[in-house]
Amino acid sequence: MSTREIVATGHILLAKPFMDDPYFKRSVVLLCEHNDNGSLGFILNKPIDMKINDIMSEFPPFDADVFYGGPVQTNTLHYIHNMGNLLEDSAKVSDGVWWGGDFENLKFLIDSKLILPANIRFFVGYAGWDAGQIEREIEADSWIAADMDPNYLFKSHPNQLWSQVMHNKGNAYEVLASIPDQLSWN
């Protein structure tokens, strides 16, 4: 199977257990855009110690955590949600997962209690790859592609997500999921 067949918008990438890159170590990345021009995604399992109101003072009161989306443009805010077209101008990423949307509409829906913290995840920065780069990294054995499940984003605990997705892939991936983060723990 070629990487073109297994990497697509709406898929996730799992960092191989021995990847030492501090940005991506044991990361789970949702690809929100993958085409001939490159790829863009968000790291789903790296919460930062901030709430949305800590970084957006003009935002309605909202008890939602903020996550590190990746090392590109860390001065930008992005969001992924399960509200579909209720949030105008959203882009469907996969079944039950939508990206972005009109920011003023988002604030209105939050203020109206139509979007709750369980419906949305905020990210500072994003992960980006040039055209063909992610395929080369997969061929170099840096990433494992997997199908996205909305529960990974909206119901799973971020600190357990990498192991959970590896385990869900079954077979040899279950072994990878059990490799400790620090080899000295083995």
Residue located via tokens 């959970």: 164
- The C-alpha atoms of residue 176 and residue 6 are separated, in whole angstroms, by 19
The mean of the pLDDT values for the chain is 91
Q: pLDDT class for 178, splitting at 50, 70, 90?
A: low
- The C-alpha atoms of residue 45 and residue 157 are separated, in whole angstroms, by 8
Mean pLDDT of 97-112: 97
Instruction: Spell 79-89 as b/e; 16+ CB within 10 A means b.
Output: bbbbbeeebee
For residue range 48-87, what is the model confidence (pLDDT) as tens digits?
A: 999 999 999 889 999 999 999 999 999 999 999 999 999 9
Better pLDDT: 19 or 159: 159
Mean pLDDT of 167-183: 71
pLDDT given at position 4 = 44
- The C-alpha atoms of residue 86 and residue 99 are separated, in whole angstroms, by 12
For residue range 136-171, what is the model confidence (pLDDT) as tens digits?
A: 999 998 999 999 999 999 999 999 999 999 999 887
Domain segments of the chain: what residues? 3-185
Q: With pLDDT > 90 as the criterion, what percentage of the chain qualifies?
A: 79
Residue 3 has pLDDT above 50, yes or no: no
CATH 3.40.1740.10 is the classification of domain 3-185: yes
Asked whether the whole model's pTM tops 0.85, one would answer: yes
